[in-house]
Amino acid sequence: MEFFDSHAHYNDEKYDLDRESIINEIYNEKITRTVCVGYNLEQSKKALQLAKEFHFMYATCGISPNDIDDYVDNNIEIIEKLAKEKKIVAIGEIGLDYYWNKENKEKQKELFIKQIEIANKIGKPIVIHTRDAAVDTIEILKKYPVIKKGIFHCCPLNQELIKEGIKLGFYISFSGNITFKNAKSEPCISLVPLNRLLIETDCPYLSPEPYRGKRNDSRNVKLVAQKLAETKGIELKEIAKITYENANRIFEI
């Protein structure tokens, strides 16, 4: 049984002391594909560098709404240049975050749209980060359609958002938060057809139960898959296979 962790941050400083060994370890534990996700200029470059170093790793580049300080000078052009690299499989993570940043909504929207334009120009999908901003996120996706579609990463457990996202042709990626007690994730999981389902860790953050609060890594994607298997009433190996194929399809690997 092999797993595809569709969203990880091995570029994060929390791996500075043991990056190489943990990456080799996850591969030995049958996480045989993963995407290292960028969120600002520096971390996008680092993600690409790691993807070049490890054959089973891919990368994304983009400026997230929480890194809006990077939205200066010619950084958008640099993102576009990075995006053309072979191992870059998507633009992201990009989107809107009104939980952490309420005061610069218009600037966030502008940055999101600019990066959707890059995705369309280059012909790659996007990885969406959206928090407390479901309505505006959907509105932008309707107004600025993404040709290669994309993924709602660490998808908020918001049924309306999930329904709209699926209607727009997007994939829904669940992370460790679906395992949290009181998450009430089942109705949301049930809404997602199997051919649009993805699994991720968003490591080093968001460790699933029973490791909540500890540093996360891709091995824990199995616990996310397990929760999906239980909720969907199918075997773990089926979820592993389906989400692996879905990730290959959306990232065109």
Q: Where does this chain bind Ni ion (CB under 5 A)?
A: 202
118 touches 137 (CB < 8 A): no
Token representation of residue 190: 């049930």
Compare residues 5 and 202 and give the one whose CB is closer to Ni ion. 202
Question: Shortest approach of Ni ion to residue 122 CB, angstroms?
Answer: 21
3-class DSSP assignment, residue 114: helix
Amino acid residing at 112: F
Compare residues 70 and 202 and give the one whose CB is closer to Ni ion. 202
Residue nearest to Ni ion (CB): 202
Nearest to 156 by CA among 196, 128, 182: 128
Compare residues 164 and 202 and give the one whose CB is closer to Ni ion. 202
82 touches 45 (CB < 8 A): yes
Measure the N-to-C terminal CA separation of the chain; round to a whole number of Å.
19
Question: Shortest approach of Ni ion to residue 93 CB, angstroms?
Answer: 5
Compare residues 80 and 202 and give the one whose CB is closer to Ni ion. 202
Question: Shortest approach of Ni ion to residue 37 CB, angstroms?
Answer: 5
Question: Shortest approach of Ni ion to residue 8 CB, angstroms?
Answer: 8
107 touches 68 (CB < 8 A): yes
Compare residues 64 and 185 and give the one whose CB is closer to Ni ion. 64
Question: Shortest approach of Ni ion to residue 3 CB, angstroms?
Answer: 17
What are the residues facing 151 on neighbouring strands? 127, 171
